[in-house]
A and B are shown apart, each in its own frame.
Chain A
Amino acid sequence: MTQNAESKVTLPRDAKGKRSVFFDDPAIDQIMTFILELSAEVSVVYDRMDTVERLLDEKGTISRDDIEAYRPNEGVEAARNGRREAYLKRVFRMHQESGQKE
């Protein structure tokens, strides 16, 4: 149990218990993992661009450290959440007919 203080800590990535599969072909559930994770990466890149733009507006020139150290205030976070929600609505839209009578 006791860990060497020098060793790198790695945590499990999967929960104990059954992994649920919903589609007849489990590959579809797997692909959904890829798509959702990819959607997060696009959002993260967008936020990084937003940080760069905000810092440039403010200071004219910036370093990588400036970007890493940047933390949005509540107002910036609210603007980003608005952007994230619009993005989610564009990307993850269910087929219209799904909710309607066949």
Chain B
Amino acid sequence: MPLQHEHEFLVTGSHDEMNRQHYVSRLRMHILNQIGAGMRGVYENRVKPKFKQTNGRVPKNEHEIRKAMLADSYGKTWSTMMVNCQDMVWESVRPAIERAQPGLNEKVSRVKATHGSIVLNSDVKVPRYLAGADIHRMPGNYHTERATDDVTQGALYDRGRFVYNGGAAGPFADGIPRTMAAYIKARWPDFKPKKILELGCTIGTSTVPFVDAFPDAEVHAIDVSAPSLRYGHARAEALGKPIHFHQMDAEALDFEDQSFDLVYSCIIFHETSRKAYPKILEECKRILKPGGQMIHTELTPVANMDDFDAFYIDWDAYYNNEPFYQTYTSLDPEEWVTKAGFEPSKFFQASIPDLDRSPPDVFAGAVRNPTVADRKAARVGESAKWYTYGAWK
């Protein structure tokens, strides 16, 4: 596990707190990989036969599998460990952030916009899909504000997410967006976007790689959550990256028609809603210039998974506070991209091997010969491939 890059606003913790965080990362991996490895065997050898005996057939979908798995002692134990560990992630970071406040808010409020900028708009309402439940069980979610110039949730997310994924996305927690940017450049070398927009940027970890990949472009990023944007702006300034942050709702952007060459998002749709998703796609179409590109990395559609893999999606939706996860992954991206007004012939999709976790020839092969996710690409990060789709305008 790489250590997290410590920019000047990152809150880590004391000697013992950092070791607790690093332990929680390993614990989570142990539950996912070691204990999780037994789940399929339990299903095949015990849960499925029992279900068949009772119902005269095998489970017909991931919902039935979830219910049957949760009636088994192995499934119960794995589940309670997963939920507990998820809470431990945030709990391991919380005390250090409490101690850092209110000093952290003051420190961030003194940051000068030297490289980029930030424009907040308090008229932007937090959508119901974020206000209703704390996504990933992060207490306070991305948006809660408890003080003037509050950045607490941004700080909690920055450190907590690193603990959550055990550093798997690299010291800057940017493995996916770095992979996306490298893929765009490799697959479409003649595409030189001059103006780029990221939707749902939170603290801008997914924005920075696009600044690095396209140094001549003007890079903008939007989110509804002010604490995340303030923190993200401070972080970007500390890293010397020119990013223009805006508090906006992706369902109704303030940008003019045909104003961007590239619009992208990094695993955000499943945290929105059934109503928001088509509107966001329509906004992408509207703000793109002719010849511009829309590209999104997201979870693999359930249609590309077997039922047991889909069970994990179902589980997360129920127990990791991801209400739209399940519905989102049941949708066909091509259908919705087309409904948003993009031409069917301009649609593309591919599963991209993670830049850090794949040999260079595997990545190059995926660029030359784009293929859609295989069945084993189900659990996020498990197969080290990222399902990506989009369209040209």
Contacts and interface: CB of A to CB of B under 8 A. Distances in A.
Interface string B285-327: 0000000000000000000000000000000001101000000
| Number of chain A interface residues as a range | 35 or more
B147 A11 contact: no
A25 to B, nearest CB: 11
A43 B83 CA distance: 20
B26 A81 contact: yes
B74 A99 contact: yes
A39 B27 contact: yes
The residue among A17, A23, A67, A68 with the most chain B CB atoms within 10 A of its own CB is A17
Interface residues of B, number: 65
Interface string B78-105: 0111011101101110100110011000
Nearest to A82: B26
Contacts of B141: 16
B367 interface: no
Contacts of B56: none
Interface in B125-158: 132-134, 137-141, 145-148, 152, 156
A70 B319 CA distance: 37
Nearest to B133: A17
Interface string B45-84: 1100100000000000000000000100111110111011
Interface string B100-132: 011000100000000000000000000000001
A2 B102 CA distance: 11
Contact of A77 (B1, B30, B46, B81): B1
Interface string B17-45: 01110111011011100110010011001
Given A1-B147, A36-B81, A40-B88, A81 B22 contact: yes
Interface of B: 1-3, 14-16, 18-20, 22-24, 26-27, 29-31, 34-35, 38, 41-42, 45-46, 49, 70, 73-77, 79-81, 83-85, 87-88, 90-92, 94, 97-98, 101-102, 106, 132-134, 137-141, 145-148, 152, 156, 318-319, 321
17 contacts: A8-B98, A9-B152, A15-B87, A15-B138, A20-B79, A20-B318, A22-B80, A39-B23, A40-B20, A44-B20, A78-B1, A88-B27, A94-B77, A98-B38, A99-B74, A100-B45, A100-B46
